Amino acid sequence: MEDDIEFINRTNTGHAWQAYKELPDGRRRHFQPNIILKQLHSKKLFRYARLYTWDAASAQNLPKRERQLIRIDGEPATELDYAGLHIRMLHHLNGHDPPHDEDA
């Protein structure tokens, strides 16, 4: 698993990442978000692990509105809808198209 995380981190750092923080006066301040992942375990080691970035500059800690402004190599990033993933999979497994999501 450590080799996999190291591969992801090398891949991530091979690109130019830029995020924006909205200031109270409406202006945006750009910054380099922390994109280095670490593994956090709950309970036993190598069980129930999740990958997180950390510190105040973590893109995971940005509000949704600001996460939508992230750029990778100058291109807009896309945030996947994992909250709706499982229900969509169930629809497809049963041969149905899921209802249209207005927020997508």
Reading the chain (104 residues) residue by residue, the pLDDT tens digits are 789 999 999 999 999 999 998 899 989 999 999 999 998 877 777 677 788 888 888 888 888 888 889 999 999 998 877 777 888 889 999 999 887 765 54
Domain assignment present for 87: no
**Can you give the residue range of the structural domain that contains 36?**
2-79
Position 103 scores a pLDDT of 53
pTM listed for this prediction: 0.69
CA proximity to 58, closest of 30, 73, 37: 37
d(CA 56, CA 102): 32
Position 5 scores a pLDDT of 92
Considering its fold, how many domains does the chain have in total?
A: 1
Domain assignment present for 100: no
Domain assignment present for 90: no
